[in-house]
Amino acid sequence: MQLVNSVKAQDVAVQRALEDVPHYVNECEALIAENCNDSVHFLYADKIREKASLFLNNFRGSSLYAIKANPHPAIMNLLWHYGVRKFEMASLREIEYVVNMFPEAELYFMHPVKSRQAIRGAYALGVRTFAFDCLDELRKIEEETDHASDLSLFLRVRVDQVNAAYPLSDKFGVPVQEAPLLIQRAQQNAQKVGLTFHVGSQCMDPAAYSEALSQIANMLSSSGVSIDKLDIGGGFPVYYPGMEPGLLEGYFDTIHRALDEHGLDTLELYCEPGRALVAEAGAVAVRVEMRKGQALYMNDGTYGALFDAGVPGWTYPLELRKMDGAEVSDGALPFRLYGPTCDSCDKMEGPFELPDNIAEGDWVIFRHLGAYGYAMQTRFNGFYSETMVAIG
Ligand SMILES: *Cc1c(COP(=O)(O)O)cnc(C)c1O
pLDDT of residue 311: 94
Closest by alpha carbon to 108, among 148, 65, 164, 141?
A: 65
pLDDT of residue 3: 47
How far is ligand 1, taken at its centre, from the CA of residue 275, in Å? 8
- Relative to the CA of 166, which ligand 1 atom is closest? 7
Q: What is the pLDDT of residues 244-259, one digit of tens each?
A: 999 999 999 999 999 9
How far is ligand 1, taken at its centre, from the CA of residue 166, in Å? 11
How far is ligand 1, taken at its centre, from the CA of residue 63, in Å? 12
Query: Which residue among 54, 64, 169, 272 is best mutated to probe the pocket of ligand 1, counting the most ligand atoms within 8 A of its Cβ?
Result: 272
C-alpha angle 329/301/237, rounded to 5°? 85
At residue 131, the 3 state secondary structure works out as strand
How far is ligand 1, taken at its centre, from the CA of residue 273, in Å? 6
- 76/67 Cα distance (integer angstroms): 8
Q: How many other C-beta atoms lie within 10 A of the C-beta of residue 225?
A: 16
How far is ligand 1, taken at its centre, from the CA of residue 323, in Å? 37
Closest by alpha carbon to 79, among 91, 90, 63, 92?
A: 63
Look at ligand 1, atom 5, and give the residue with the nearest C-alpha: 234
- 217/267 Cα distance (integer angstroms): 12
pLDDT of residue 333: 97
Contact between 185 and 155 under an 8 Å Cβ cutoff? The reply is: no
At residue 120, the 3 state secondary structure works out as helix
- Listed as ranges, residues in the chain with pLDDT below 70 are 1-10, 160-169
Closest by alpha carbon to 151, among 108, 177, 190?
A: 190
- Relative to the CA of 202, which ligand 1 atom is closest? 7
The per-residue pLDDT of the chain, averaged, comes to 94
Residue 371, CA distances (Å) to 72, 96, 241, 301 in order: 10, 21, 16, 15
Half-sphere exposure at residue 59, Cβ-oriented, CA atoms within 13 angstroms: 27
How far is ligand 1, taken at its centre, from the CA of residue 50, in Å? 20
H-run or E-run covering 55:
helix 45-58
How far is ligand 1, taken at its centre, from the CA of residue 280, in Å? 16
Question: What is the torsional sign of CA 157, 158, 159, 162?
Answer: positive
Q: What is the pLDDT of residues 159-186, one digit of tens each?
A: 866 666 666 667 899 999 999 999 999 9
C-alpha torsion 156→162→164→167, nearest 10: 40
Q: What is the pTM of this model?
A: 0.94
Look at ligand 1, atom 10, and give the residue with the nearest C-alpha: 234
- 61/388 Cα distance (integer angstroms): 32
- Relative to the CA of 168, which ligand 1 atom is closest? 15
- Rounded to 10°, the helix 2-17/73-81 angle is 150
Contact between 339 and 302 under an 8 Å Cβ cutoff? The reply is: yes
Contact between 156 and 172 under an 8 Å Cβ cutoff? The reply is: yes
Look at ligand 1, atom 3, and give the residue with the nearest C-alpha: 234
How far is ligand 1, taken at its centre, from the CA of residue 89, in Å? 9
Q: What is the pLDDT of residues 33-79, one digit of tens each?
A: 999 999 999 999 999 999 999 999 999 999 999 999 999 999 999 99
pLDDT of residue 221: 97
DSSP structure string for 305-351: TTHHHHSS-----EEEE-TT-PPPPS-EEEEEEE-SSS-TT-EEEEE
pLDDT of residue 1: 39
Contact between 274 and 237 under an 8 Å Cβ cutoff? The reply is: no
Domains of the chain listed by start with CATH number:
21-42+280-391 (2.40.37.10), 45-278 (3.20.20.10)
Helix/strand/coil percentages in the chain, nearest 5: 35, 25, 40
Q: How many other C-beta atoms lie within 10 A of the C-beta of residue 205?
A: 18
* Ligand 1, residues at Cβ distance < 6 Å: 66, 68-69, 88, 110, 198, 201, 233-236, 272-276
- 335/61 Cα distance (integer angstroms): 44
Q: Are strands 62-66 and 318-321 parallel, antiparallel or unpaired?
A: unpaired
